[in-house]
Amino acid sequence: MAVETFWDGLERRIAAGEPPHGEHPGVAPDGVTPEALRRVLDLEAHHLRRSGTAPVAQHLLAGAVLAGEAALAGAARARLTAQGVPALTTRWRTRPPSAALSRVLEGHGDAVVALLAGPDGLLLSLDASGESGAWDAGTGHAVPDPLAGPGGPRPPASAVHARTVALSPDGGLVALAGDDPVVRVLATDGPARGAEVTTLAGRPGPVTALAVTGTAPTRVVAGGADGAVRVWDVTSGAAVSVARGHAGPVTALTATGQGTVVSGGVDGTLRSWDPATGAPLGLLEGGPAVVAVVVPAAGQLLAATADGALHVFALVDGVPQDAVRLDVPGDGVAVTAAACAGEGRVVVGRVDGTVQLVPTTGPGPVAELAGHGAAVRAVTADAAGTVVATGDDHGRVLVWDPARARPGAGGHTGVSPAVGAVAASTGLVVSAGRRSDGLLAHDPATGARRWSVPAGAGPLWFDPSGTRLFAVTGTATVEERYATTGVRAGAVSLPGRVLAGRGALVVTGETDGTVAVRDARSGRAFRTTRLPSAPRVAAPTPGGATVLLAADGLLACWRPAAAEVVTVALPAGLVTAVAVDDDGCHGVVCDADGRVHVWRAGSAAVTTVRADAAHLTAAAGAGRCRAVTAGSDGTAVLWDLTSATALGRVPLDAPLTAVAVGGGTVVVGDGCGEVHCLDLLAGAAAAVPDGVIPEQGGAAVVPAPRTGTTDREAAAQLSE
């Protein structure tokens, strides 16, 4: 009872929007420490703020698995079991996040291109659409955004489509600029937070890089697409100097702290300037474009280049000299951003999703931070280097605790191509890269890799015994492989395009609407039919007794043995996936508008339900008249097909691209090349409705169960 009180109190606090940390009523489950609970609550905070997405215990189970908190994971699983709640819960991921990950911040709809860590834990972000955000880095809560101006966003007529931002050394001012030739300077703290301090004009074109010098006087330095570097005095707003020399846009700027400014450009050069006069003080010619320049320690400058190299220079009177190229893992993978992360250390982001903490003042280990799975575009750290934040192409900001980073323990090997297909059996989980990058097999219990082979990126499925794997190469070649090794056992080329496979059968479709159920090994056609339009996707039941086929505007239920085809109209939309339950009585169609269309085979219409804010990408039958769908919002949803209701959701932090169910396991692939293995907690038995369910906004009686030949009997007839 005491443990139940603990869970009830935690759920009430989260539902009320109260901070979940602190004292909780009741006794915490055995082995669950306050530190473990705080860590997992921080990791799952962005999910917990989405009301109604899943039970609190489900989120804590997922976070505890990733954080390695076994006691909390067990307690959360026990809570879900006691509640009888159907749920999808993470068993393992192929690329778990680093132990240094503190929290995830969401809200941007585009790639995060700039980040700034200000005073008092303020974290500012900017995305590729020009939208800004502001958070308290310690709590993850949104705070008033100084980039939006006092009292809210600026009117559209004067809105700034900002591309680049820079913070003053004391954190009191922020400069921002973008496509227009104007630089705006705003206050970041105090009563005037967000107020415009000054507007600096005089550029002939877009600003591509910014820096703010220290006090006495405070100056804004702007590099432009024209290759020039311009300097203004913030107090007076007057132009101070113009320096020219770069052959192309300026891509990086920094004030050295020694009275000079250093700029880098796409021309591969580093140039030193006197900001008071614009006079050149030094030139270092290189090769690849300069991505970032920072001052990690007194008398030192680091330059990152597009070829992935990190160069450290001595600053002599503010002019970089004596270059040393650091020996860093990942050298050769393009650097996208770099920032100072405390004295003698920088944080570096790379295009393959890697984040590194690199010492610059002497030999030392490089720590890698795993968690993005997408190209990193922006990095920042507070002045002491105790908080690091990084932003990626998916619009997420990850906040890290460098003290928990283990040297060389990131485990992140870069971004893999999006997963194109997955398959699951009792003893194996297999995924295929979307760009024909091969097949990867994992142990379903532990996630340990079993084997990898080069192969196609099409649909995957196992034979009924689970000892053979079928993989589609191109659009119509089916390869048979031994499940234990991945070694190829045979192949057959088929007419048309492979739509789906199951067991020893494969469904093919042709442009004229012809559909066939074939033997996956020989290609021999068992039955064929023809639809009014070519189907996009298909889903057969075990044995092929029923095949669900979907095209834009049309859903068909084909029973090959009886030569029976029943069709129903679908609402307008691009069909992306279809799934059917094992009995062939219920099916679900997904579309690019984020809707699921649930159908009781033989009924006159479908039930349409909104499932994803953007679009759905995959679906799979899950037994007991259930299905799992996956979408671009990173959420996998478990559905009861008898009532067209969502039974459970699990957010997985990346756009999802594939889903399969087999051997009691749900496997999901995502756009970052990662595979998520989920447990399906069945919960209480689903109640079949005896009344009314919503259908296209209205009411419709649920049809009676189909009578006549069973699917098992029909499957036997099909193979005759």
Confidence bin at 708 (pLDDT 50/70/90): very low
Residue 398 CA to residue 361 CA, distance in Å, equals: 26
Model confidence at 493: pLDDT above 70 = yes
Contact in structure between 380 and 389 (CB atoms under 8 Å): yes
Pairing of strands 335-340, 345-350: antiparallel
Highest mean pLDDT among 180-189, 456-465, 646-655: 456-465
Confidence bin at 284 (pLDDT 50/70/90): very high
CB-based burial, 158-184: b 16+ in 10 Å, e otherwise: eebebbbbbbbeebbbbbbbbebbbbb
654 versus 232: which is more confidently predicted?
A: 232
Highest mean pLDDT among 13-27, 501-515, 674-688: 501-515
List pLDDT tens digits, range 500-536: 999 999 999 999 999 999 999 999 999 999 999 999 9
pLDDT at 158: 37
Confidence bin at 44 (pLDDT 50/70/90): confident
The mean pLDDT of 353-366, rounded to a whole number, is 89
pLDDT at 706: 32
Return the half-sphere exposure (C-beta side, CA atoms, 13 A cut-off) of residue 222. 36
**Collapsed DSSP state (helix, strand, coil) of residue 201:** coil
List pLDDT tens digits, range 585-621: 999 999 998 999 999 988 888 999 988 767 899 999 9
DSSP string, 336-374: EEEEE-STTEEEEEETTS-EEEEE-SS--PPEEE----S
pLDDT at 474: 85
Residue 604 CA to residue 569 CA, distance in Å, equals: 9
CA distances from 123 to 98, 364, 381 (A): 21, 28, 9
The tokens describing 589, both together, are 């169609």
**Collapsed DSSP state (helix, strand, coil) of residue 223:** strand
Calculate what percentage of the chain has a pLDDT beyond 90. 50
Highest mean pLDDT among 74-88, 136-150, 226-240: 226-240
Model confidence at 720: pLDDT above 70 = no
The mean pLDDT of 533-552, rounded to a whole number, is 94
Model confidence at 106: pLDDT above 90 = no
Residues 6+ apart with CB under 8 A from 676: 90, 92, 93, 94, 636, 652, 667, 668, 669, 670
Residue 109 CA to residue 116 CA, distance in Å, equals: 18
Return the half-sphere exposure (C-beta side, CA atoms, 13 A cut-off) of residue 407. 7
Residue 140 CA to residue 143 CA, distance in Å, equals: 9
In eight-state DSSP terms, residue 253 is E
Multiple choice CATH, 419-718, 3.40.140.10, 1.20.1250.40, 2.130.10.10, 3.30.70.1140 = 2.130.10.10
Q: How far is Cα of residue 34 from the mean position of the Cα atoms in its chain?
A: 29
Residues 6+ apart with CB under 8 A from 37: 21, 28, 72
CA distances from 427 to 222, 448, 484 (A): 59, 12, 9
- Provide CATH 2.130.10.10 ranges for the chain: 144-286, 419-718
Model confidence at 19: pLDDT above 80 = no
Decide: residue 384, CB within 10 A, 0-12 exposed, 13-18 middle, 19+ buried: exposed
Whose CA is closest to 212, among 146, 168, 256, 258?
A: 168
Instruction: Give residue for tokens 């003893």.
Output: 427
Model confidence at 451: pLDDT above 60 = yes
Residue 349 CA to residue 391 CA, distance in Å, equals: 9
List pLDDT tens digits, range 155-175: 333 345 678 999 998 888 999
Contact in structure between 137 and 123 (CB atoms under 8 Å): yes
Contact in structure between 440 and 434 (CB atoms under 8 Å): no
Q: Per DSSP, what are the bridge partners of residue 369?
A: 355
Residues 6+ apart with CB under 8 A from 283: 245, 269, 270, 271, 272
The mean pLDDT of 415-423, rounded to a whole number, is 82
Residue 712 CA to residue 611 CA, distance in Å, equals: 32
Residue 91 CA to residue 354 CA, distance in Å, equals: 24
Sign, Cα dihedral of 651, 657, 662, 663: negative
Model confidence at 96: pLDDT above 60 = yes
pLDDT at 517: 97
Return the half-sphere exposure (C-beta side, CA atoms, 13 A cut-off) of residue 137. 26
Whose CA is closest to 659, among 700, 630, 702, 688?
A: 630
Confidence bin at 275 (pLDDT 50/70/90): very high
Residue 506 CA to residue 294 CA, distance in Å, equals: 57
Report the mean per-residue pLDDT for the chain.
Answer: 85
| Helix pair angle (2-15, 70-83), 10° resolution | 90
Confidence bin at 694 (pLDDT 50/70/90): very low
pLDDT at 701: 30
Residues 6+ apart with CB under 8 A from 41: 20, 21, 48, 60, 63
The tokens describing 599, both together, are 């159908």
The mean pLDDT of 288-314, rounded to a whole number, is 95
Decide: residue 324, CB within 10 A, 0-12 exposed, 13-18 middle, 19+ buried: exposed
pLDDT at 151: 40
Model confidence at 270: pLDDT above 80 = yes
pLDDT at 436: 61
Decide: residue 152, CB within 10 A, 0-12 exposed, 13-18 middle, 19+ buried: exposed
Picking from 91-95, 179-183, 380-384, 464-468, which range would have the lowest pLDDT averaged per residue? Answer: 179-183
Highest mean pLDDT among 218-227, 680-689, 699-708: 218-227
pLDDT at 22: 58
Residues 6+ apart with CB under 8 A from 419: 431, 432, 433, 434, 657, 658, 669, 670, 671, 673, 674, 675
pLDDT at 683: 62
Confidence bin at 705 (pLDDT 50/70/90): very low
3-class secondary structure for 32-73? CCHHHHHHHHHHCHHHHCCCCCCCHHHHHHHHHHHHCCHHHH
pLDDT at 149: 55
Whose CA is closest to 658, among 474, 438, 430?
A: 430
Picking from 340-349, 431-440, 538-547, which range would have the lowest pLDDT averaged per residue? Answer: 431-440
pLDDT at 416: 62
pLDDT at 707: 36
CA distances from 432 to 265, 471, 552 (A): 39, 9, 26
Model confidence at 688: pLDDT above 50 = no
Calculate what percentage of the chain has a pLDDT beyond 70. 88
The mean pLDDT of 179-204, rounded to a whole number, is 80
Q: Per DSSP, what are the bridge partners of residue 195?
A: none
Decide: residue 716, CB within 10 A, 0-12 exposed, 13-18 middle, 19+ buried: middle
List pLDDT tens digits, range 573-588: 899 999 999 888 999 9
List pLDDT tens digits, range 458-486: 899 999 999 999 999 988 899 999 999 99
DSSP string, 506-520: EEEE-TTSEEEEEET
**Collapsed DSSP state (helix, strand, coil) of residue 324:** strand
* CATH 2.130.10.10 at 144-286, yes or no: yes
Confidence bin at 53 (pLDDT 50/70/90): low
Contact in structure between 662 and 423 (CB atoms under 8 Å): yes
The tokens describing 419, both together, are 């997963």
pLDDT at 113: 93
Model confidence at 252: pLDDT above 70 = yes
